[in-house]
Amino acid sequence: MESSDRPRFERVDWSEIDTERRLVTPERALFVLGLCVVVGLFLYDYYYAHVYLVAQWAVTPIDWAVLIGLVGLVSYGVVPAARNRAAVRRTYESIRSRPVLSGALAFLAVFGVVGTVLPVLLGRPELHFGYAYQPPVGVTVDAGWSPNCFGTIKRGQGIQRYCEGSALIPLGTNGRGQLMEAMLVAGARPAIYVVLFTAAFIVPLATAVGVAAGFRGGRLDDLLMTYVDVQLCIPAIFLYFIGYMYVGASLLLLLVTFGLLSWGPVARLVRSEVLQRREDGYVVVARSLGGSDSYVARRHVLPNVTNTLVPAVFHLFAILILAEAGVAFLGFSNVELYSWGSTIAEGLSPDRMRAHEVWWISTVPAVALAATVVALKLAGDGLRDVLDPRGGR
């Protein structure tokens, strides 16, 4: 009989289950090794590199936090997936059968590469004040706003001059002569940091609180949910402004304030699902066979709340990306870290010129921001069906 035709209980990998009880597991070993590497990089940067760690990468506190988060995501996300290749293969085939989900994930994958790799290789967008307000390809504007024209100059009536966009700079430039392509790449970096920081620190916290409250119940449930209620009453933007007065603009400050005050709804959704699942037959049987609360919650309860957790997490990603862009739009972000929000504000600034004449400065990052948020929502809704163990996969 083929292995795929055997009943599922006969195909259980008991060695994998036994491994979970060991002190040293592949996940823990990789996590400790990764932390050692991060510590080594920190010491190298502090004592030797001083300015750039790699290429044009000047490491900041938010970079170190994201690196630690990446170690955790790889250790407890990628490694278990590599050990369960059959499930990964089924998931991949299910994703391929959904064109909308495939397109959204492909966009997010490109977005991730652009936001993490290219800013390190390219550095900060270069300034070319002589070529300020160059129009995108296919667009012609009054050349009086810029002393030079990268494309073709067209003559109008009298001394009127018009600048035609060039294919060499397809998205044009801003008021400092920076390429809008470079501004898009630089603006993707804070958005990627929002996703990585939230996935590594905020989502596990919200999930753990929701599972603990729903599975254990009683006083622990009351205590955790009371804290969530109090937390939801505190406006994150108010707390960020208080921190802004003392430490200045910081992406790490924004992620801590908004992230730590935004996970309550996710925890409540998880708790609601766990309350429904903890009395199901398979959970009762697992507990009657001697399974500990932590084992039953991790192996039997948590996988069955993905239909609620996954879209809520992707919704949280989108909300926090919009929050970061909104704070940057208002001018309360780090000026050394470009953001799509600050670029949108630059195109709408009244002290520059009439906004409709340089519409591409705000339109290009606005389109990128909207596309990212839509892709996150589509990916969350699609993965909800793909990862739901009760979906018939």
pLDDT tens-digit map of 205-250: 999 999 888 888 788 889 999 999 998 888 888 899 998 888 888 8
Q: Is the pLDDT of residue 378 over 90?
A: yes
- Cα–Cα dist 208/267, whole Å: 8
Confidence of residue 322 (pLDDT cuts 50, 70, 90): very high
Residues 258 and 224 in one domain: yes
Q: What is the pLDDT of residue 69?
A: 92
CATH number at residue 372: 1.10.3720.10
Residues 139 and 158 in one domain: yes
Q: pLDDT over 90 for what percent of the chain?
A: 30
What's the pLDDT tens digit per position in 62-98?
A: 889 999 999 999 998 888 888 888 888 888 888 988 9
Residues 233 and 111 in one domain: yes
Does residue 160 lie in a domain region? Answer: yes
Residues 225 and 120 in one domain: yes
Q: Is the pLDDT of residue 49 over 80?
A: no
Domain count across the chain: 3
pLDDT, mean over the chain = 82
Q: Is the pLDDT of residue 262 over 50?
A: yes
Cα separation values, 390 from 82, 286, 295, 380, 382, Å: 22, 18, 20, 17, 15
Does residue 172 lie in a domain region? Answer: no
Q: What is the pLDDT of residue 24?
A: 77
Range of the domain at 144: 130-164
Which carries the bigger pLDDT value, residue 355 or residue 261?
A: 261
Does residue 57 lie in a domain region? Answer: yes
Q: Is the pLDDT of residue 14 over 50?
A: no
Residues 319 and 380 in one domain: yes
For 229-282, give the DSSP string.
Answer: HHHHTS-HHHHHHHHHHHH-S-HHHHHHHHHHTT-HHHHHHHHHHHHHHTTSHH
CA angle 224, 229, 230 (to 5 degrees): 100
Write out the two tokens for 202. 């905020």
What's the pLDDT tens digit per position in 219-229?
A: 888 999 999 99
Confidence of residue 12 (pLDDT cuts 50, 70, 90): very low
Residues 110 and 203 in one domain: yes
Owner of token pair 């392509």 = 181
Q: Is the pLDDT of residue 318 over 90?
A: yes
Residue 368: burial class (beta carbons within 10 Å; 0-12, 13-18, 19+):
buried
What is the reported pTM? 0.87
Contact criterion met (CB below 8 Å) for 265 and 279: no
Residues 70 and 52 in one domain: yes
Mean of pLDDT values over 333-355: 76
Write out the two tokens for 163. 């600048």
Write out the two tokens for 282. 């398979």
Does residue 170 lie in a domain region? Answer: no
Residues 145 and 248 in one domain: no
Mean of pLDDT values over 26-40: 92
| Sign of the C-alpha dihedral computed for residues 276, 277, 281 and 284 taken in this order | negative
Q: Is the pLDDT of residue 391 over 70?
A: no
> Which residues are bridge partners to 153 per DSSP?
163
How many Cα atoms sit within 13 Å of 346 on the Cβ side? 23
